[in-house]
Amino acid sequence: MKLRCFTLAEVLITLGIIGIVAAITMSTIMQKITEKRTVSQLTATYSILSRALRLAEEDNGTVDGWGCIKQDKACAELIANNLKPHLKLLLDCGTNDSKGKCIYNGVYNYKSGSPLQNYATADWAYKVVLLNGTSIWWRGPYLQGDSINSSKNSMLIYVDVNAQKKPNVIGIDMFGFEYYAGSGLVPLGSPLSTQFSYKTACLPKNSNGWGCAYYIMNFKNMDYLH
């Protein structure tokens, strides 16, 4: 019986196909792992912040009564004075993080790809890193012309689950929460969020991504990316 052997070209083609399939498979697996880590980190951070706010209110009264009436440095520092005693911090960068020690010192992008802004140098936001490695920064309530806020909330808290690491995109590794009197800390995109719905501010590919915090907290996945 005559045995048929594979030619070198056939072997190389087969190995090439296997390599391509493996690369695609590994990329998909790594993306799923990253998404699960993001969901877990955001959920844990929400619990940390909710507990800290509850304790801060026991000491200082409800957030809406702290006297923080606008988005400015004084308001950010007032919130810090009341909230920080109830948070375990790895780093405290105050209102100016121009060296990028606490948060990404560069422009964050919307999920659609368009640029938003650099929060690191904005003195109206107070920046810290939690002990779990998450970067957070907070700011005061409604400011005229501010499209991501409403007059009903008392505070916004931003969360970057992987600190300074890329991609620094809203809805992928950066998310927002707002505080409402009587409801506590609410993820942007929830029915209580007057500016955003996750259906329009997360699900569409070209959306800004602000509604994705609610999607993750509610559905426990990031399937909107696929």
Alpha carbon 119 to chain centroid, angstroms: 13
Query: Is residue 13 assigned to a domain?
Result: no
**Per the structure block, which two tokens stand in for 144?**
């005229």
Query: Is residue 6 assigned to a domain?
Result: no
Query: Is residue 204 assigned to a domain?
Result: yes
Distance CA 211, CA 113 (A): 15
Distance CA 34, CA 37 (A): 5
Containing structural domain, residue 157: 35-225
- Say which residue, 48 or 154, is predicted with more confidence: 48
- Say which residue, 37 or 3, is predicted with more confidence: 37
Number of domains comprising the chain: 1
On the question of pLDDT at 146 being above 60, the answer is no
Query: Is residue 124 assigned to a domain?
Result: yes
What does the mean pLDDT of the chain come to? 88
- pLDDT at residue 24 in the model: 67
Q: How much of the chain, in percent, has pLDDT values that exceed 70?
A: 86
pTM: 0.85
On the question of pLDDT at 149 being above 60, the answer is no
Query: Is residue 4 assigned to a domain?
Result: no
- 140 touches 124 (CB < 8 A): yes
Q: Considering just the CA atoms, what is the radius of gyration of the chain in Å?
A: 22
- pLDDT at residue 13 in the model: 75
Question: pLDDT, tens digit, for every residue of 177-212?
Answer: 998 878 889 999 998 876 789 999 999 999 999 999
Split at pLDDT 50, 70, 90, the class of 142 is low
Query: Is residue 80 assigned to a domain?
Result: yes
**Per the structure block, which two tokens stand in for 93?**
């960068």
Query: Is residue 15 assigned to a domain?
Result: no
Query: Is residue 178 assigned to a domain?
Result: yes
